[in-house]
Structure 1
Amino acid sequence: MNPLCTQIHYLLSPKSVVIVGASADYSKFTGRTVKYVLRHRYPGKLYAVNPTRTEISGIPCFPSVKDLPEAVDTAFIQIAAKGVPGVIEQCIERQVKSIIIHTAGLGESGEEGKKTQERIKAQIREAGIRVVGPNCAGIVNMTESMILSPIACYEIDDLPAGRIGLISQSGGLTGAYVSRAADRGIGFSYVISTGNEMDLGVSEFAHYLLRDEHTDAIAIFLEALRDVNLFREVAVEAMNRRKPIVVLKVGRTEVGARAAASHTGALTGADTIYDAFFRQYGIVRVETLEDLFEVPALFCKAKPPKGRNVGIITTTGGGATIVLEAAAQAGLQFPPPSDSAIREATAFLPSFAAKSNPMDVTMSGAGGGFKKGLELLMKDDTFDMIVGVVGTSSQFEPHLGVQPIVEVCKDATKPLVAFCNPNAADALRLFEKNGIPSFRTPESCGRALGYLVKYGEALDGFNRGKGQQRTADPDSPNAAKALNILVTSGQILTEYDSKRVLSTYGIAVTREKMTGDVEQAKQAAKEIGYPVVMKVMSADIPHKSEAGVIKLGVPSESELVAAYGELLAKAKRFKADVRIDGVLIQEMAAKGVELIIGMKRDASFGPVIMFGLGGIFVEVFKDVAFRVPPISLSDAREMIGEIKGEKLLNGYRGMEKMDCEAIASTLMSVAGLSLDLGEEIRELDINPLIVYPQGKGIRVVDALICR
């Protein structure tokens, strides 16, 4: 066990516990913690701190922590905020190994609370004690009957232990997860509320659960990641260990985002980055509260299927159709059964029964039709997974559909899941008892199958080379050359200087020359060859088309001379005190498909790479994909495949296929540049990047770097 896991182990598996602020009144929060730890028969040593009592419900009670007869593994603190620093000091003096602070009113509530929390943070850092909280709902270890939480869901007797480790940044929601899951017979190995994450947080507990033998899947309710780098390490190791991480991340809408200088900045919101990060590291992002225990429960029972083909057997057409539509939205497919399967089905199904997919056995289920049909689909190589949809019989006549699913599952050779139309609690518990994934709604059933397939595909992609990432190399010759350009530039680089930086990383740019007067411009155009493009270079004009300071396809010297003065005049009309570096004379790039590649530096994640269809309407169509460096070539190729415009790159309606490998290579170079140069670059746009047919590469036509 590594040092971090050893420290967390005292919190999650303590052999001795003291409840500070314990009450004998079970109607109070401070009494409920005592009630639940006793109710669920915690097997370790228990102590309480309450200066007015000598015992509470048989638990020995002491005036203070320093009066305890031994150094305990964990202290659970539930007193007023102002008294917490003093108790922490006593815990340090008494050599308590770990602390849970349930107390609220600290870092989340005003300046005084923040100061108190910072004081506590300094105390524990100096002492080397690990803490969860403050403002947390406690910690539960169901595998050892250790309930240190006042949440009312622990009134439930005989809560099932399961194989899902739950980490939640919302304390109150832990009760919803535990009670809803228990109603289905679904249990957790651990329930961890992280609160303000003053010390330990989501990343640290995920690190522990990844190595825990009682946990097969990790479920996380997430508001924000505090330690992205550790979580990235956890995610990579989770892929290696094939232990799924399922996240319900709130905050899809972002209000009041900072105005950005680049297109990339405008398109890259916080939730967009989380989406990219999750996709990149095989983390399954779910949509609803029930998804957060149904989907990990599915992963605990079923391995990812070999493909995307789903077979559905049902006693109710409507319910099956909703499952089908939800799964289809997740990208799954529903081919008809094989010809031989249809012939076999004809022998036992009535003529009016649908023998396609879904296979609707109607009332023939009473004659064993459901079980026969289920066995038929299970052995049909057409299908990679099977869904059994049962109507009202699941509640009132379980022998018709529910029991056949249980029986067939014993010898199942592919994933088999179940959905019951009515709220058939007994049937759902029976499925859970027999290791059959089941769902309360048809939509959640269809979505979950999609998650299972995509997780399997993420594992396959990871195994094919996800680990071969281009990491930071700040001492490389390329970085040194780029840095020399950056240190002599302002906050916003001109297109010319931005392209010079890109060129140091081998990224192909247009042939061009910077000119300071019309004579230099004439000479440059003669060397490059007409027609040319003319652009005013000014850090005050990051988007040249908006100011009209760009002229395309200048065919001759006479028109170049006329345009030169005209462009300078437009620049001055756009901004009276505009700073002009010169006029760029550039080759007229051949036509191809216009793309955008960008980078934005995020405070938490660092550089974020964007790719999509480019041009002036990039912010309108928003057809873009994101990744968080370091990335692999596989990541770069996936980005290309994720945009809707991917068809334009792969021979749409007879068009030539574009050089996608050159795009992927450029994405890798931009990712490397963003890592090597670190804080030197805040935002980067390459727009447009023109890609040409296979073997003909790419060309950067315009670029913008913001420092």
Structure 2
Amino acid sequence: MTGPLQALLAPAAVAVVGASDNIHKVGGRPLQYLAQQGFRGRVYPVNPRAATVQGLRAYPSLEALPEVPDAVVVCIASEGVEEQLVACGRLGVKAVVLFASGYAETGSAGRERQQHLQRICQRAGVRLLGPNSIGVASFDSGAVLSFASIYADCAPQDGPVAIVSQSGAFGVSLYALLRERGVGVRCVAATGNEADLDTADFIAALAQRPGVHLVLLYLENVRDPERMRAALVLARECGVQVVAVRAGASEHGRRSAGLHTGAQGAGMPALDALFDGAGCRSVADLDALLRCVPGYLQRAQAAMRVRLPAKPRLAVVSNSGAYCVLAADQASRVGLPLARLSDASCARMGALLPAFSLNRNPLDLTAALLGQPGLLGDVVACALADPAVDTVVLGLLAMGGPSYDIARFARDCRAAVEAEGKSLWLFSPHAHVRSGFAQQGFPVFRGEAEAVAEIAGFALHLAGRATPLPADAVRA
């Protein structure tokens, strides 16, 4: 990857205009983050009223720098922005991050000011991220060109997920929630008003970065549908999955989106075919985005060698007969079949499980699990080995006290999954159970409804049919 996106995601040199010693100010945070996150490039604070800023030599202007930076972060108010953009163009700066607001998101006068910025950048050959953007943070390179305070509270860790959001707050909130769950994040890009660089640019760039497996989007508008389609198709060709929250479906929502980011947007139904056809899955909200992530990361692991069909055949395993029934009901509700186990598998299950157990799918472990800690792994391994089973959904209830070895249960299930190259999805109301299985890389859910519904949506997406499930697929 070369050009303006390389200049933002992995610059060799960065200048910060309006640099401040105060790390709580917009001009102070980018410098602090660049120092803290291991950025290996050169950093140049620009402040005509200071000799040093945060221990670095400061320069009175961009023209006074010893080299032309790849990226310039403009942290000043809108009144001085145009002068800085002109200077960037004169010097040959590749890309600018602009935090300032007061442009298209404020109405017609603001749109005119934004169009003037666009003309300046076009004439100068400078690519612009913003305005009204909180910036971009790329954690593999340490190039955190952002004033978002969340990065000081939630320690970054590079990982397989990238976030591109037309709302800064949504994007960094999603980042924080993923980090709380132990998920590493490669990049968070807040595109703001998209006067120049837009969501499609970042999708295309991030899909080509090694190690990125999943891109999560928040969209209020698509200004160029064909460019968006091309970016999504490129991501699919690179083997990168894309899941989006597409806001602004209602009249009030579209009006709010126009005020928020300057979007004028087409109606959401008109974009359904574009996103579905390009392989992008659409989900309802932030919670739905979070629920989907572990399934995609499980798929990215080498252990998951068997591709799920559009309607995967489930084996339901639980230590609760009630959970067996509820999960079977939910599978029927979303149109997923239960696998019909082979005679050999049924015979094996009959030898493993008590005579009074359900042993033909759903598979009820009963209280026998209490005295036989190896039982869970044996049953899961048997189910996964059956050719009729595409995936296992496991429900664990009433797992209190030291008698239940959650760490062993999770390890045994991991071994079974790796042996067969298939997948397993856990649901449990108990946080310690979910935590134990999450540590082994399994998707975890509180209840059977959200677990089975996510399997259904995930499988449809991978099969190239990304149409979202009905809103009532997940019961309260």
Fold match (TM-score > 0.5): yes
- Give 1:419 deviation, angstroms: 3.0
8 Å CA contact 1:291–1:444 kept in 2: the answer is no
Matching of residue 457 in structure 1 with residue 466 in structure 2? no
Q: Which residue of the other structure, out of 267, 280, 285, is the alignment partner of 1:283?
A: 280
Q: Which residue of the other structure, out of 204, 214, 223, is the alignment partner of 2:201?
A: 204
Q: Which residue of the other structure, out of 38, 42, 55, is the alignment partner of 1:41?
A: 38
Q: Per-residue displacement from partner, 1:455-476 (whole Å, max 9, x unpaired)?
A: 23218x9xxxxxxxxxxxxxxx
Q: Which residue of the other structure, out of 377, 399, 407, is the alignment partner of 2:407?
A: 399
User: Matches of residues 264-303 of structure 1 in structure 2 within 5 Å?
Assistant: 270-302=267-299
Q: Which residue of the other structure, out of 410, 413, 417, is the alignment partner of 2:418?
A: 410
CA distance in 1, matches of 2:85, 2:70: 14
Q: Which residue of the other structure, out of 183, 190, 195, is the alignment partner of 2:192?
A: 195
Q: Per-residue displacement from partner, 1:28-55 (whole Å, max 9, x unpaired)?
A: 3332333222222222111112222222
**Which structure carries more relative contact order (alpha carbon 8 Å, separation 6+)?**
2
8 Å CA contact 1:390–1:419 kept in 2: the answer is yes
Label 1:26 to 1:237 Cα distance change in 2 as closer, same or farther (>3 A).
Answer: closer
* Paired residue type of 1:244: Q
418-427 vs 118-127, which deviates more? 418-427
Label 1:24 to 1:356 Cα distance change in 2 as closer, same or farther (>3 A).
Answer: farther
- Give 1:383 deviation, angstroms: 1.0
- Give 1:70 deviation, angstroms: 1.2
Q: Secondary structure at the match of 2:68?
A: coil
CA distance in 1, matches of 2:20, 2:231: 39
- Give 1:158 deviation, angstroms: 4.4
Matching of residue 308 in structure 1 with residue 316 in structure 2? no
Q: Secondary structure at the match of 1:190?
A: strand
CA distance in 1, matches of 2:326, 2:36: 42
Q: Secondary structure at the match of 1:117?
A: helix
The runs of 4+ residues in structure 1 deviating greater than 6 Å are: none
- Give 1:99 deviation, angstroms: 0.6
CA distance in 2, matches of 1:158, 1:175: 12
CA distance in 1, matches of 2:179, 2:185: 9
- Give 1:102 deviation, angstroms: 1.4
Aligned residue in 1 for 2:380: 374
Label 1:308 to 1:98 Cα distance change in 2 as closer, same or farther (>3 A).
Answer: same
Matching of residue 430 in structure 1 with residue 439 in structure 2? yes
Unaligned runs of 5+ in 2: 255-265, 471-476
Aligned residue in 2 for 1:56: 53
- Give 1:89 deviation, angstroms: 1.5
Aligned residue in 2 for 1:177: 174
Q: Per-residue displacement from partner, 1:281-301 (whole Å, max 9, x unpaired)?
A: 221112231332442442243
Which one has the largest radius of gyration?
Answer: 1
* Paired residue type of 2:454: A
Aligned residue in 2 for 1:555: none
Q: Per-residue displacement from partner, 1:315-369 (whole Å, max 9, x unpaired)?
A: 3455566655555444322234333323222222234433243322133233122
- Give 1:388 deviation, angstroms: 2.6
CA distance in 2, matches of 1:256, 1:212: 33
CA distance in 2, matches of 1:89, 1:324: 64
Label 1:12 to 1:444 Cα distance change in 2 as closer, same or farther (>3 A).
Answer: farther
Q: Which residue of the other structure, out of 240, 244, 248, is the alignment partner of 1:243?
A: 240
- Give 1:164 deviation, angstroms: 1.8
Normalising by structure 2, report the TM-score: 0.85
Matching of residue 357 in structure 1 with residue 388 in structure 2? no
Q: Superposition RMSD on alpha carbons, in Å? A: 2.8
272-281 vs 96-105, which deviates more? 272-281
CA distance in 1, matches of 2:450, 2:216: 16
Label 1:255 to 1:26 Cα distance change in 2 as closer, same or farther (>3 A).
Answer: closer
Aligned residue in 1 for 2:158: 161
- Give 1:385 deviation, angstroms: 1.2
309-318 vs 182-191, which deviates more? 309-318
* Paired residue type of 2:394: G
8 Å CA contact 2:136–2:187 kept in 1: the answer is yes
376-385 vs 50-59, which deviates more? 50-59
- Give 1:130 deviation, angstroms: 0.9
* Paired residue type of 1:455: H
Matching of residue 6 in structure 1 with residue 3 in structure 2? yes
8 Å CA contact 1:378–1:414 kept in 2: the answer is yes
Percent identity of equivalent pairs: 24
CA distance in 1, matches of 2:412, 2:194: 47
Normalising by structure 1, report the TM-score: 0.58
Matching of residue 217 in structure 1 with residue 214 in structure 2? yes
8 Å CA contact 2:213–2:239 kept in 1: the answer is no
Aligned residue in 2 for 1:589: none
8 Å CA contact 2:9–2:141 kept in 1: the answer is no
- Give 1:403 deviation, angstroms: 2.9
142-151 vs 437-446, which deviates more? 437-446
Label 1:235 to 1:79 Cα distance change in 2 as closer, same or farther (>3 A).
Answer: same
Unaligned runs of 5+ in 1: 258-268, 462-624, 626-641, 643-707
Q: Per-residue displacement from partner, 1:402-449 (whole Å, max 9, x unpaired)?
A: 2322332332322223334223364255123xxx33345544422321
* Paired residue type of 2:347: R
